[in-house]
Amino acid sequence: MFFRPQRSHKFADIGTPNLSVGGNNIEFVEKWPQLGHMISLNLSDYTDISHCKQSLIGQINTVLCRFGRLDPIVKNKRFQVYCSSHYCAELWDLCCNTLSDYCTA
């Protein structure tokens, strides 16, 4: 949740408001991980797609290291199980230029 400060023509930019819960200040960040995805301040899918691409590459490397000596049919099945989760990818903006990098990976 983010509350944008109201701008007044009398005052300069006052920046982000100080919000606190239980006396602890809430940190203001440009991006935040949520359920395995990156939510960014500008609501762009660039950061999320890049994050998911790196995760996919890590999963592929793990499958190749752990199951590299198995029969190709078994290895392919392991690849499908461990590397084919594209949770919430259907929500990505198809015009985002990093989507092709994800598909290449």
Contact by Cβ (8 Å): 12, 28: no
CA angle 59, 61, 65 (to 5 degrees): 120
pLDDT at 11 over 50: no
- Going by C-alpha positions, the residue among 27, 48, 36 that lies closest to residue 92 is 48
pLDDT in tens, 14-47: 566 677 778 788 777 788 888 878 888 888 888 8
Domain edges within the chain: 42-104
